[in-house]
Amino acid sequence: MRGSDEAYCLGIESTADDFSVGIVTFNGKILANASSNYVPEEGGIHPREAARHHAEVADAVLQEALVKAAIKPYELTLIAFSQGPGLGPCLRTGATVARALAAYLNRPLVGVNHSIAHIEIGKLTTGAMDPVTLYVSGGNTIVSAFDSGRYRIFGETLDIALGNCLDVFAREAGVKHKPGMPLGAALEELAANGEKLISLPYVVKGMDLSLSGLLTAAITMLRKGKCRLEDLCYSLQEHAFSMVTEVTERALAHTEKTEVLLTGGVAANKRLQSMLRGIAEEHGASFHVVPRQFATDNGAMIAWTGVLSYTHGIVTPLAESFVKLRWRIDKVDIPWVE
Q: Which of 122, 138, 155, 306 binds ligand ATP (CB under 6 A)?
A: 138
Tell me which of Fe ion, ligand ATP, none is bound by residue 268, counting a contact when its beta carbon lies within the kind-specific cut-off of 5 to 8 angstroms.
ligand ATP
| Residue ranges in 37-96 that form contacts with ligand ATP under rule CB under 6 A | 86
Choices 131-139, 225-233, 245-253, 314-322; region in contact with ligand ATP by CB under 6 A: 131-139
In the complex, minimum distance from the CB of residue 205 to ligand ATP, in angstroms, rounded to a whole number: 21
Binding of ligand ATP at residue 182 (CB under 6 A)?
Answer: yes
Q: What is the 3-state secondary structure (H, E, C) of the chain?
A: CCCCCCCEEEEEECCCCEEEEEEEECCCCEEEEEEEECCCCCCCCCHHHHHHHHHHHHHHHHHHHHHHHCCCHHHEEEEEEEEECCCHHHHHHHHHHHHHHHHHHCCCEEEEEHHHHHHHHHHHHHCCCCCEEEEECCCCEEEEEEECCEEEEEEEECCCCHHHHHHHHHHHCCCCCCCCCCHHHHHHHHHCCCCCCCCCCCEEECCEEECHHHHHHHHHHHHHCCCCHHHHHHHHHHHHHHHHHHHHHHHHHHHCCCEEEEECHHHHCHHHHHHHHHHHHHCCCEEEECCHHHCCCCHHHHHHHHHHHHCCCCCCCHHHCCCCCCCCHHHCCCCCCC
The answer to whether 163 contacts ligand ATP (rule: CB under 6 A) is yes
Contact 113, 83 (CB under 8 A): yes
If binding is defined by CB under 6 A, does position 168 make contact with ligand ATP?
no
Whole-number minimum distance, CB 218 to ligand ATP, in Å?
15
- Please identify which residue in 7, 9, 12, 16 interacts with ligand ATP, judged by CB under 6 A: 16
- Residue nearer to Fe ion on the CB measure, 82 or 245: 82
Q: From 114, 118, 126, 117, select the one nearest 277 (Cα to Cα).
A: 126
Size of the site for ligand ATP (CB under 6 A): 24
d(CA 232, CA 285): 32
Question: Which residue, 185 or 243, has its beta carbon nearer to ligand ATP?
Answer: 185
Q: Which is nearer to ligand ATP, 76 or 85 (CB)?
A: 85
Among residues 122 and 182, whose Cβ is nearest to ligand ATP? 182
HSE-CB at 319 with a 13 A cutoff on CA atoms is 0
Taking the least distance from each CB to ligand ATP, the nearer of 188 and 231 is: 188
Cβ distance to ligand ATP smaller for residue 7 or 161: 161
Which of ligand ATP, Fe ion, none lies near 296, with the C-beta cut-off 5 to 8 A by kind? ligand ATP
Under the criterion CB under 6 A, does residue 296 sit at the interface with ligand ATP?
Answer: yes
3/44 with CB nearer ligand ATP = 44
Which window, 104-112, 124-132, 250-258, 265-273, contacts ligand ATP (CB under 6 A)?
Answer: 265-273
Minimum CB distance to Fe ion smaller for 114 or for 288:
114
Does 109 sit near ligand ATP (CB under 6 A)? no
User: Is residue 167 at the binding interface for ligand ATP, with CB under 6 A as the rule?
Assistant: yes
Minimum distance from CB of 306 to Fe ion (Å)?
Answer: 16
Q: Peptide bond preceding 47: is omega within 30 degrees of 0, i.e. cis?
A: no
233 binding ligand ATP? (CB under 6 A): no
Least distance between ligand ATP and beta carbon 6 (Å): 31
